Structure 1
């Protein structure tokens, strides 16, 4: 489970269409769900600390995201990282492009702190779970997919020490 710090920010794409499919699993096995984060695909986490997100940064984020067209994504299959099961978006290219654009504009905020060479877009369903639990979750989800969403905006979420809250939203072009 992730350890969040007050003042951390994240840029995410909300996927409300996935809530009915994944919310029960996320409530049990995704630490961000208990802290107010809806089903989502992360664009960049951690982003700048909240005290650095001023009007200039907000305006720049608006410009970065407006340069990208809205797009449709399907979540038809599950994928796995060690101890994590997720829904894989198809296509994943537009999510990667959003991440790359933000990381290029703010190189001091690499995705996941630079821990991973390849950042794979995904919608986390459960974290910290053994393979047998992942198997059970995947079997449950199989008959309820695909989830289809139209990505029109990226949200800025800020952690206040108790909950993550949407503090801004940036429409895609």
Structure 2
């Protein structure tokens, strides 16, 4: 799946963790690997050995040029074996992905496997439909809820766990 030295750009969503954290601990391997509930901006990003001060500065400038925003989670969605929460609106997240990929075209989202991937927060993966049904029924009762998106994190995998390497604030006026 991922290798030591892989990096990603993610938006952590602690508001989601409070709703689905227990399910993620049981049914999302990424939780055990140190990744909190998140929206992926770009995975994989550059290999860790390619990230230097110039790249960090470029990321800071790029993200600083995008306004902070709020999202809400109103419904669940599914991919095969995977249950997720869909953010609304998803346009600002897609814009961040396009901007990063435009600057680093050698890093297409999900290695180009999914075309234009839908932004989402994974709750379970690799599970049969009965598990997805159970989790969805529980989470549906807790919807809707909102989250503030104020920054993007660079995370890196060391071969055992993912950890944060840098946090890049989004720019513009803070939404109320």
TM-score, L = length of structure 2:
0.95
Query: In structure 1, what is the equivalent of residue 33 of structure 2?
Result: 35
Cα shift readout 1:62-96 (whole Å, capped 9, x = no counterpart): 11101100000001100001110000000000000
Partner residue, 1:52: 50
* Partner SS, residue 45 of structure 2: coil
Give unpaired runs (5+ residues) of structure 2.
172-176
- In the other structure, the counterpart of 2:120 is 122
- Alignment correspondent of 2:61: 63
Number of positions where the alignment pairs a residue of Structure 1 with one of Structure 2: 171
Match of 2:133, SS? Answer: helix
Q: Find the counterpart in structure 2 of residue 100 from structure 1.
A: 98
Instruction: Show CA shifts across 1:139-167 (max 9, x none).
Output: 01011122311100000000011110000
- Measured on the aligned residues, the alpha-carbon RMSD in Å equals 0.7
- In structure 2, distance between residues paired with 1:43 and 1:139: 27
Displacement of 1:20 in angstroms is 1.5
Write the distance in 2 (CA, Å) between the matches of 1:19 and 1:84: 17
d(CA) in 1 for partners of 2:9 and 2:42? Answer: 5
Q: CA deviation at 1:112?
A: 0.3
Quote the residue 1:86 is aligned against.
84
What is the TM-score with the length of structure 1 in the denominator? 0.97
The unaligned stretches of length 5 or more in structure 1 are none
Question: Secondary structure at the residue paired with 1:145?
Answer: coil
Q: Report the 3-state secondary structure (helix = DSSP H, G, I; strand = E; otherwise coil) of the residue aligned with 1:119.
A: coil
